[in-house]
Amino acid sequence: MRKICYVLTAAIVLSSCGDKSAASIEDLIAQGDLEAIRAKKTEISGQQKNLETQLQQLDSAIATFAGNEKLPLVTTLAAKVQKFDHFLELQGDVKTKQNVLIYPEMAGTLQRVYVKEGQRVRKGQTLASIDDGGMSSQLAQLKTQSALAKTTFERQKRLWEQKIGSEIQYLQAKATYEANENAVKQVQSQLGKSTIRAPFSGIIDDVIKDQGTVVSPGPGSEVFRIVNLSEMYIEVDVPENYLGEIQKGKEAKVFFPVLGDTVTTKIRQTGNFINPSNRAFTVEIPVPNKNGNIKPNLTAKVSLNDYSNSNAILVPQGVISENASGEQYVYVAVDMVEERAVAQRRIITTGKAQGSFVEALTGINEGDLVIKEGARTVKEGQNVQILNTVTDE
């Protein structure tokens, strides 16, 4: 039956055009006017497309009336309103503000090392001690002198309050006592530098100097490296055009490829300076590290929430097509009777995409049956048979 239709149509075309049309085309070619030839070709192509559409309609009518219509099989996706979060994908490295080298504050021999690599320490805990060169004995002597000066001053003070003795004796005793007290405090301060203590709670990452090594303040005399793995963060550069969308408190997802782990957190701080070299501002994201697996300088993929819509309609990107005018469209199933429906083309406006789905801003309403499987093969107004409808994808 299809062949008969094609033959009839061809006959109609030939009879309508006739020898006069053929002669007209030959004359047009003979004239050599390229623009006119192209225009004629476009005209005939349009007629051909129109005839093909009519042929499809005739085929469908013939199949329907003959009772042997073979409908395209499609699946549909029921459009629904849902929350949509879009994320900006960036890359960064893990950092910690508490990752420092500890230097000695006085010169001397490293007398004792009290900790080992990997040991967890508390803030203020003694890590090592340096030979004080007899400063402890000097301090003990000064304390004895200070105690005697204190006793002398207190007695002289009582006498002076009773108007016994001279004022100069009282003032001399007071000056001697205060001088001894200051000397004790000064030596205590110097002696305190012989003990190396943890500046914060963390883990001893490296014991750089061995016991017995002569150390001194300044570069090259690092004794320990201490790291606090509980205060980790990631700093990323965000393009300036996201300045209004990326804000403090918004959700951030951090994926560590090496660990295969994802951490959900929030933006802690956004920079107030646009770097002129890359036109970006910095964003700081804290990273909780309860099990201690996250290390400084670990590579991470960061996803920052830059757009949210609580009433979005999402469609798979694979069902969206584009016409010659650049308009995007999908097919929806309408006029459904039992498992049969009609394919209708809908011009849509799309928003942001995330994964395999894109936001449909216009053209699709909640409850519309968007054709999924078979979307690339159906035609406008074509009858289709629906295999199943997905509602919770």
The per-residue pLDDT for 390 is: 62
**pLDDT, tens digit, for every residue of 105-132?**
888 888 899 999 989 899 999 999 988 8
The two tokens of residue 169 are 């004796």
The per-residue pLDDT for 315 is: 93
**What's the chain look like in SS3?**
CHHHHHHHHHHHHHHHHHHHHHHHHHHHHHHCCHHHHHHHHHHHHHHHHHHHHHHHHHHHHHHHHHCCCCCCEEEEEECCEEEEEEEEEEEEEEEECCEEEECCCCCEEEEEECCCCCCEECCCCEEEEECCCCHHHHHHHHHHHHHHHHHHHHHHHHHHHCCCCCHHHHHHHHHHHHHHHHHHHHHHHHHHCCEEECCCCEEEEEECCCCCCEECCCCCCCCEEEECCCCEEEEEEEEHHHCCCCCCCCEEEEEECCCCEEEEEECCEECCCCECCCCEEEEEEEECCCCCCCCCCCEEEEEEEEEEEEEEEEEEHHHCEECCCCCEEEEEEEEEECCEEEEEEEEEEEEEEECCEEEEEECCCCCCEEECCCCCCCCCCCEEEEEEEECCC
Mean pLDDT value of segment 136-150: 85
The per-residue pLDDT for 3 is: 40
The larger pLDDT score, comparing residue 390 to residue 366, is at 366
The per-residue pLDDT for 7 is: 39
The per-residue pLDDT for 266 is: 93
Query: Is the Cβ–Cβ distance between 281 and 90 less than 8 Å?
Result: no
The per-residue pLDDT for 62 is: 65
**pLDDT, tens digit, for every residue of 238-295?**
999 999 889 999 999 999 999 999 999 999 999 889 999 999 999 999 998 877 888 8
Give the pLDDT band of residue 159 (cuts 50, 70, 90): confident
The per-residue pLDDT for 61 is: 67
**pLDDT, tens digit, for every residue of 291-329?**
788 888 899 999 999 999 999 999 999 999 999 889 999
Cα-based angle 216, 218, 220 (whole degrees, multiple of 5)? 85
The two tokens of residue 273 are 């300076």
Q: Name the percent of the chain lying above pLDDT 70.
A: 90
Please state, in angstroms and as integers, the Cα–Cα distance from residue 263 to each residue in 68, 227, 241, 307, 374, following that order. 58, 21, 26, 20, 38
How many CA within 13 A on the CB side of residue 342?
A: 9
**pLDDT, tens digit, for every residue of 341-376?**
999 999 999 999 988 899 999 999 999 999 999 888
The per-residue pLDDT for 84 is: 93
Q: Name the percent of the chain lying above pLDDT 90.
A: 40
pLDDT > 50? residue 220: yes
The per-residue pLDDT for 79 is: 92
Burial (CB < 10 A; 0-12, 13-18, 19+), residue 114, is middle
Dihedral angle at the C-alpha atoms of 160, 165, 167, 173, nearest 10 degrees? -80
Domains of the chain from N-terminus onward: 2-66 (no CATH), 73-84+310-390 (2.40.420.20), 87-98+228-307 (2.40.30.170), 102-227 (2.40.50.100)
The per-residue pLDDT for 229 is: 82
Cα four-point dihedral sign 273, 275, 281, 284: negative
How many CA within 13 A on the CB side of residue 220?
A: 3
**pLDDT, tens digit, for every residue of 8-46?**
444 444 445 444 555 578 877 888 788 888 888 888 888
Give dist(CA 310, CA 329) in Å, integer: 23
The larger pLDDT score, comparing residue 25 to residue 67, is at 25
The per-residue pLDDT for 280 is: 94
Residue type, 64: T
Largest CA distance in the chain: 148
Q: What DSSP character marks residue 368?
A: -
The larger pLDDT score, comparing residue 339 to residue 65, is at 339
Query: Is the Cβ–Cβ distance between 381 and 332 less than 8 Å?
Result: no
Give the pLDDT band of residue 63 (cuts 50, 70, 90): low
The per-residue pLDDT for 224 is: 93
